[in-house]
Structure 1
Amino acid sequence: MQPDLELVAVSRDESFKAWYHGYPYRTVRWHFHPEYEIHLIVATTGKMFVGDHIGSFAPGNLVMLGPNLPHNWVSDVPEGETVEQRNLILQFGQEFVTHCMESFPEWRQVEALLAGSRRGVLFGAQTSAAIQPLFLELLAARGLRRLMLFMSMLEMLVTAEDSELLASPAYQADPTGFAATRINHALSYIGKNLSAELRESDLAQLAGQSVSAFSRYFRRHTGMPFVQYVNRMRINLACQLLMDDALSITDICYKVGFNNLSNFNRQFLVAKGMAPSKFRRYQQLNDASGDASDEAAARDAGGENAPSIVPAVPAHDHAHTRTARAAYPQA
């Protein structure tokens, strides 16, 4: 299931966008955007989808999202019932970040937070409670007061001690990022041969290193041991295949390179905190939210500066795909 693109319109006389919406709503679907986002749930409970993470949410759920990280919050609300204000949203682009970096040396303190947001950062109840009144005031603030509130919120997030990353490290792993290193060939080989038997000794030979040197080098660049990285990559592929109802869980187990179902289920549970069957059910819930958001958009068409959604481009529409990627590059 490809995420849809949300077009975020920031007013020319503002540095960032602060707004809220209810439920159901047009953007309640599996989607992404090039902007950073701070997202606070103020009403309803349900399921949260961030990258390859699936979890539960309740009022006070505060998450920061990095550029192009797919996400969705699906509320447990009876059909036909509406919620006026479900979540508060703040969005700002990379250009704004770059200007701040160039203008304010103090902004360097924010770099670690921005880097972590590319996997999604979940904050605890203490930080959420401190930020919510600032967030609510920000919705109506103007001029310099907006900037003061925004910077205060960022300071709280930077210094928060109750945060955790959501998407797995392997979800963000990009072999092209190691293009200048010898390990690039090993990472590329792993990505192309997940269904085959992968031995660390063979990959060490491919990288031109001893097994011990390769093991240290691999862990330094990926943040995890070789076997764990391979398992995570296989689980990531399994997550994609679980979106296809035509494949059984057993078929997927062998297709991604596990040699028995019990090991696959065990590794999936460790990585995702749930069985593959439950993950598939939740993804079906995530997918169904797009239909509800279409109905909400039809009821609430128009509105100045309202966010809009560009559906995922079909794989066969190569020309459209090139245009979309050029306009909205993946970070």
Structure 2
Amino acid sequence: MSPTDLAAPSSLRPNRLWALGILVLLEAALVVSWSAGFIGVRFASDHAPIFLILFWRSLVSGLVLLPFALALGPRMRGRDIAFQMLLGALAMAGYLSGFALAIGLGVPTGLVALITDMLPLAVAFLSWPILGQALTGRQWIGSFIGLAGVLIASGWSLEVGHVPLWAYGLPVLGTLSLALATLLQKRSPVNAMPVYQSLCIQCLSAAAIFAVPAWHEGGVLPVLDRGFIGGILWLVFVATFGAWSLYYLALRKSSPARVTAVLYLSPPVTMVWAWLMFGEPLSWAMAGGLVVSLAGILIVAKSQAPARP
């Protein structure tokens, strides 16, 4: 055996450590950008009505992507566009309005992030009526644990806040809307589009929907205010383009299970971020509920990996 052969294993270690370090930095950036959507809405809500914020976030995102969607192709068929418009109504308009309205009504931003991060539970509940897949015993246990965590985390905020009780159901409805879009996409025979095309159509479709309530709130013209403009740019380039780009890049570098697990870190990051920026409540009850809820989500997520036939 030559000296070169002996040195080979030790020379690979720095490369592996470097790759691991890059992956950890990528995942950290993903968590921050994912949390940035909740923080951006909370920041912009001090400068403009919620639906005006959502309208301009969706419109600007769609218009930025439109040249790429048209120039890079492939050619878009009518039924593909129609299906993406449906997904835009559910995954964009339904989901974004659910959590954004809750934040605008005063529900703590970190708690909204926790509720919306329970997407695996919503997918599990809707899988039976849509895909015919009943929940397993493990999924039921995980679902109840996750729900208990949310109740623990939200109990304290209900005591200290002046938010109507029904407002806490808005992010739940938004999460169910996103889960429905996820399951419809899974069972759809329509061919998948490139991300820049599907995201473009979904954003423009959501903008058309948001334009109606924004008009009733006072109009669709932008607010000429630094806070509003900065908030929209933040939501477009950090929370939309940044988060989605990092998400797909992380999927290429790692496994879907690891990426999903990493995203479960976004609620605590959002809670601390909202506490530092806006002085929102942060208590041991919220932290304890977060831990309980994430444990339930992990149980459900791990049980949703059946072997492919």
Question: What TM-score does the superposition give when structure 2 sets the normalisation length?
Answer: 0.25
Question: What TM-score does the superposition give when structure 1 sets the normalisation length?
Answer: 0.24
Higher helix proportion (structure 1 or 2): 2
Structure with greater contact order relative to length (CA < 8 Å, sep ≥ 6): 2
Higher strand proportion (structure 1 or 2): 1
